[in-house]
Amino acid sequence: MPRENIDQLVDDGSFQEYWPLIVAQQHTRHDIDKLRKNTPADGVIAGTASVNGELFDDEMSRTMVVSYDYTVLAGTQGHRGHYKQDRIYEMAGRFKLPLILFSEGGGGRPGDDDTGPRVAADTHTFTQFSQLSGLVPMVGINHGRCFAGNTALLACCDVIIASEDSTIAMGGPAMIEGGGLGVYTPEEVGPMSFQVPNGVVDILVKTEEETVEVAKKYLSYFQGNLQTWEAPDQRALRHIVPENRVRFMT
């Protein structure tokens, strides 16, 4: 579950959520009580937290966390959720904060009020997210179904960590069927048996919990020096790297 994933990732009590009270912009179709119940945070949980604080000081452990909530309208991207992310990604760039993204979700959400023919409204989410590349560490985590706009953000990350149950694709089943290309289940679109050999996924693990642990370890490589460390015996390389560097290796 999204909030449980965040709890596993961050140091205890350190997560400061931004704009948790917003709801989906669907007021012409639903009353506010229903929106509060069914669309908390507009399906995007975001905020700052400390990660690996037991290893690094407060400044180096500070991290920005964004998680699509697949329990809210299938983790789709809504009008207000995009505005929330605009602010989050601007802050990540301004304060040079590492960013961890949980990407599971169905992409753009048609049906929000007052957006006309647009899905993403007049937001800068995708531009601002891509501009973080090379500026801060960007870690993408996926478990389950990730399609369309969610995939676009995941693809911008420096590393993509996924579980074996993931499916990742730019077009989901509804888009494929709508384009006259056939009927497919979500698990048939972008499975790991296809995307790992393609190089889409950098690190494949078995479970959702493992994706979080690997992400924490990966992020630690960019957070500073450890107080203590040990290195494997380098003599083991003698049997791997030949003394003659131009010798053919098998």
How does residue 152 score in pLDDT terms, banded at 50, 70 and 90?
very high
Whether residue 211 is contained in a domain is answered as: yes
Give residue 174's pLDDT: 86
Q: Which amino acid is located at 152 in the chain? A: A
Tokens of residue 61, six digits: 């452990």
Whether residue 249 is contained in a domain is answered as: no
CB of 136 within 8 A of CB of 98?
Answer: yes
Residue 107 has pLDDT above 60, yes or no: yes
CB of 156 within 8 A of CB of 130?
Answer: yes
CB of 214 within 8 A of CB of 170?
Answer: no
- Which has more pLDDT, 113 or 226? 226
Whether residue 188 is contained in a domain is answered as: yes
How does residue 156 score in pLDDT terms, banded at 50, 70 and 90?
very high
Whether residue 250 is contained in a domain is answered as: no
Please tell me the pTM assigned to this model: 0.88
Measure the N-to-C terminal CA separation of the chain; round to a whole number of Å.
45
Give residue 40's pLDDT: 94
Whether residue 138 is contained in a domain is answered as: yes
- Work out how many domains the chain is built from and give that number: 1
Phi, psi of 16 (to 5 degrees): -110, 105
The stretch 53-71 carries a mean pLDDT of: 95
Query: What range defines the domain where residue 222 resides?
Result: 2-239
